[in-house]
Protein backbone atom coordinates (compact mmCIF):
# COMPACT_ATOMS: atom_id res chain seq x y z
CA UNK A 1 0.00 0.00 0.00
CA UNK A 2 1.32 3.45 -0.90
CA UNK A 3 1.67 5.86 2.00
CA UNK A 4 1.47 9.64 2.06
CA UNK A 5 3.23 11.64 4.79
CA UNK A 6 2.22 15.08 6.03
CA UNK A 7 4.79 17.23 7.77
CA UNK A 8 4.05 20.60 9.36
CA UNK A 9 6.55 23.00 10.91
CA UNK A 10 4.56 25.41 13.08
CA UNK A 11 7.45 27.83 13.60
CA UNK A 12 8.12 28.14 9.85
CA UNK A 13 4.39 27.85 9.00
CA UNK A 14 5.27 25.30 6.33
CA UNK A 15 3.49 22.08 5.38
CA UNK A 16 4.81 19.37 3.10
CA UNK A 17 2.83 16.49 1.64
CA UNK A 18 5.22 13.71 0.66
CA UNK A 19 4.37 10.85 -1.70
CA UNK A 20 7.96 9.68 -2.26
CA UNK A 21 11.01 10.52 -0.16
CA UNK A 22 13.58 11.24 -2.85
CA UNK A 23 15.47 14.24 -4.25
CA UNK A 24 13.42 16.75 -6.17
CA UNK A 25 12.71 20.40 -6.77
CA UNK A 26 9.72 22.72 -6.40
CA UNK A 27 7.57 24.15 -9.21
CA UNK A 28 5.19 26.97 -8.29
CA UNK A 29 1.47 26.29 -8.81
CA UNK A 30 -0.02 29.28 -6.99
CA UNK A 31 0.97 31.79 -4.32
CA UNK A 32 2.82 29.79 -1.63
CA UNK A 33 1.75 26.46 -3.23
CA UNK A 34 4.38 24.33 -4.94
CA UNK A 35 4.53 20.84 -6.34
CA UNK A 36 7.69 18.82 -5.73
CA UNK A 37 8.87 16.77 -8.70
CA UNK A 38 11.82 14.45 -9.34
CA UNK A 39 14.39 14.94 -12.10
CA UNK A 40 12.00 13.24 -14.58
CA UNK A 41 9.16 15.62 -13.71
CA UNK A 42 7.16 13.00 -11.76
CA UNK A 43 5.12 14.36 -8.86
CA UNK A 44 6.58 13.36 -5.49
CA UNK A 45 4.83 15.85 -3.20
CA UNK A 46 3.54 19.33 -2.44
CA UNK A 47 4.76 22.20 -0.29
CA UNK A 48 2.62 24.93 1.22
CA UNK A 49 4.40 27.98 2.57
CA UNK A 50 2.76 30.49 4.95
CA UNK A 51 0.02 27.99 5.68
CA UNK A 52 -1.83 30.10 8.24
CA UNK A 53 -1.08 33.53 6.77
CA UNK A 54 -3.66 33.04 4.04
CA UNK A 55 -7.26 33.12 5.09
CA UNK A 56 -7.94 29.79 3.44
CA UNK A 57 -11.03 27.83 4.25
CA UNK A 58 -10.16 25.34 1.55
CA UNK A 59 -7.06 24.62 -0.44
CA UNK A 60 -7.37 23.05 -3.86
CA UNK A 61 -4.43 20.80 -4.72
CA UNK A 62 -4.38 19.00 -8.08
CA UNK A 63 -4.17 15.23 -7.67
CA UNK A 64 -2.97 13.19 -10.64
CA UNK A 65 -5.09 10.22 -11.60
CA UNK A 66 -3.47 6.83 -11.31
CA UNK A 67 -4.17 4.16 -13.86
CA UNK A 68 -4.44 0.60 -12.56
CA UNK A 69 -4.28 -0.94 -16.02
CA UNK A 70 -2.62 -4.34 -16.02
28-35 own/partner pairs: CB under 8 Å, 24+ apart: 29/62, 33/59, 33/61, 35/62
- Per-residue pLDDT averaged across 34-49, rounded? 94
Mean pLDDT of the chain: 84
Q: What pLDDT band is residue 30 in, cutting at 50, 70 and 90?
A: confident
Which residues span the domain enclosing 20?
5-49
Instruction: Domain count for the chain, please give it.
Output: 1
Q: What pLDDT band is residue 70 in, cutting at 50, 70 and 90?
A: very low
Residue 25 placed within a domain:
yes
Residue 61 placed within a domain:
no
Instruction: Specify the pLDDT at position 56.
Output: 64
Amino acid sequence: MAMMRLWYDREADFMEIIFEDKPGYFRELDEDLFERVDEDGRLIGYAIFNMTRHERQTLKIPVPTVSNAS
